[in-house]
Amino acid sequence: MKHLFNSSLRLWHLIAFGVILVLFGGGAVALADTEAITGFWASGQVRLASSSFSSSDPSIDISGTGTEKEILNASFVVPEGKKADLQATFSADLHHNGASGLTTYAYCFGKFALDGINPDAKFHPDQYQLLGGDTAHEPSALTVTMTGWRKNIPAGTHTVRVFVNAAYNGCQIQAANLNVVANVR
């Protein structure tokens, strides 16, 4: 013991001791704080819903008349006495001019709605431009995505719907996915 704190103690000994102390001490603090571990996603509070169709399914043509077509929908349940905040993500394989042949311009717009409310002013942002512009400068096919959110969904069974409309001669969707995450509180 008398030789422990003599001149042979080097700086690297102190650094090694400090690293060991931080590793063991920090790990013990993280393990002791179980509220931090369970507080973010408490058991049973997250609901997931998905739907999709693939390129082997029939494609969906959207004409340039401004008429909206429902592409996909997914349902989820909010338990009695609870509310939910949700995020929806949509992605699609989009081809311009699929519905009506060659044109100079193509514009495709997408939006989310909850429980058939359309337009749904509480779903943010309201509308996405999925494709737009001079088709000579666009590839013939694009993978497009959009994400939306809505807060304070009451208890019950709900359905998130994706609508797409087009201007000019339209868009064709050959594959699509919809994923909904509901955080129940």
**For 5-55, how does the pLDDT look when each residue is reduced to its tens digit (9 = 90+)?**
555 656 666 676 666 655 555 544 444 444 444 444 455 588 888 899 887
- The topology (CATH level 3) of 46-184 is Jelly Rolls (2.60.120)
> How many angstroms separate the CA atoms of 170 and 183, rounded?
35
Domain positions in the chain are 46-184
Per residue in 73-130, pLDDT (tens digit) is 999 999 999 999 999 999 999 887 644 455 567 788 899 999 988 889 999 888 888 8
Q: CB within 8 A of 50, min separation 6: which ones?
A: 74, 177, 178, 179, 180
Helix (H) or strand (E) holding 19: helix 11-32
Question: What is the amino acid identity at position 4?
Answer: L
Task: Give me the torsion for CA of 115, 120, 123, 127, rounded to 10°.
Answer: 120
Q: Which residues in 17-30 are b (16+ Cβ under 10 Å) and which e?
A: eeeeeeeeeeeeee
Across the strands, what pairs with 149?
A: 87, 124
To the question of pTM greater than 0.75 for the whole model, the response is no
